[in-house]
Amino acid sequence: MLIMKFGGTSVGSSERIKEVGRLINDAKTKIVVLSAMGGVTNILVEICEHFRHQNPQGALSLIEVLSDKYKGVIDSLYSSAESRVRVTAFVQEKMDYIESFKDELFSDFEEKCVLALGELISTEMMKVHLAEIGVATVKLPALDFMVTNKFGEPDLERISESLKKLLSQYPDTKLFLTEGYICRNAYAEIDNLKRGGSDYTASILGACIDAKEVQIWTDIDGMHNNDPRIVEGTSPVRNLHFDEAAELAYFGAKILHPTCIHPAKMQNVPVRLLYTMDPSAPGTLISNVIEPEKIKAVAVKDGITTIKVLSTRLLLAHGFLSRIFEVFERHQTPIDLVTTSEVAVTVAIDNQSRLEEILSELKRFATVSIDNNMSIICIAGDLNWKNVGFEADIIKALEDIPVRMISYGGSNHNVSMVIRTEDKIDALQKLSKKLFSPKK
């Protein structure tokens, strides 16, 4: 069985929905995971913000905008009046549900219920479209099987058990539809998967049923070897190891969330990134296969602050490192990179929300200085320390650019450097020229 996931852009208009319908209409058995239409979740978030701030009129205006958006798609998607009436009624029911909160207390629980509606609507729209063109489908409501535990993590055992039980009821069915992103939490309340959204749903499904492959259909032809928005002439990477893909996603590659492929990796289920606008393009295959001694791609993460913590003693005393890390743990601030010397530790973070409190605590036992407006550049590939020469190529490419930190050795798949954000474009272009241009 295949898992095919389509994001918001892929179902963002009547034309795109029809194209997805053609893509999934074949003889292969599959579960299709659908996101909300492009832009819908953002509107739902804004509506929730208005309700939270007791501005019902602002919410009602956006509900009208959302209704009009759906009406335009419905009018051009369906050829029969019966289909248009059915989907219009379904959408109106959801809009009425959102509107019902205008006089109610609005909490996190209500917000999650509202945010789930985008996926529920897009899946119903696709089901009716397929029925209209004569394609039989079965809807597997995500809220019937996708559950998380008390820590907010997917409960893979329960998901697998529930999903297999549902599938067994339809032994002759080839095409199943389900919603991405949404789930129920440990208390059976409507919730969402947060990290990775619908991609995470697809990966979890692939792991739970031991799928042949998880396909993630996007608006770009695979993971590129550099940021195509910044660097000209980038090209798709045809094969990536799971760890290489995770490193690139964590450090800025927007096509994937860093944690979303973890379930598929654990079950050794390949993940393929494909291009909705050109289904014939080979895309990027992510698996547990490593291509030896090859640098694959470069990614960049902005909004970085580096914090240098200098010991007030001549050498790093016993317990100094643990005291530093405990400060960040107390303030729930992850550390992206860390480097050490005999008297100092420098860390890089991308969450500055608790920065003042962190600095205040660190200054009680150390001298502290910071650098803002920094970026992390990640170079990913088979970077095992026994492979010689790649460090020299990376350093040579950046020989004219000031480097604040270099982190290497924590992973076999990644070398990371912190530079000023103002140098980012120059750095990415020079790395592409040095690492990916044809050798003369």
All domains of the chain in start order, with CATH: 2-219 (3.40.1160.10), 296-436 (3.30.2130.10)
State mean pLDDT over 212-238. Answer: 92
Cross-strand pairs, 367: 310
Q: What is the pLDDT of residue 319?
A: 81
* 72 appears as a binding residue in the annotation: no
Q: What is the pLDDT of residue 315?
A: 58
* 75 appears as a binding residue in the annotation: no
* 8 appears as a binding residue in the annotation: yes
* 302 appears as a binding residue in the annotation: no
Minimum mean pLDDT range among 2-11, 32-41, 271-280, 318-327: 318-327
Cross-strand pairs, 285: 239, 272
Residue 196 pLDDT > 80: no
* 323 appears as a binding residue in the annotation: no
C-alpha 263/C-alpha 199 separation (Å) is 11
Residue 440 pLDDT > 60: no
C-alpha 202/C-alpha 5 separation (Å) is 6
Are the C-beta atoms of 270 and 214 separated by less than 8 Å? yes
Are the C-beta atoms of 347 and 328 separated by less than 8 Å? yes
pLDDT-based confidence at residue 386 (cuts at 50, 70, 90)? confident
Are the C-beta atoms of 70 and 121 separated by less than 8 Å? yes
C-alpha 181/C-alpha 122 separation (Å) is 12
Residue 348 pLDDT > 60: yes
* 229 appears as a binding residue in the annotation: yes
* 191 appears as a binding residue in the annotation: no
* 284 appears as a binding residue in the annotation: no
Whole-angstrom Cα Rg for the chain:
24
Number of CB atoms found within 10 A of residue 144's CB: 14
Are the C-beta atoms of 338 and 407 separated by less than 8 Å? yes
* 367 appears as a binding residue in the annotation: no
For 87, what's the count of Cα atoms within 13 Å in the CB-facing half-sphere? 28
Are the C-beta atoms of 266 and 288 separated by less than 8 Å? no
Are the C-beta atoms of 247 and 413 separated by less than 8 Å? yes
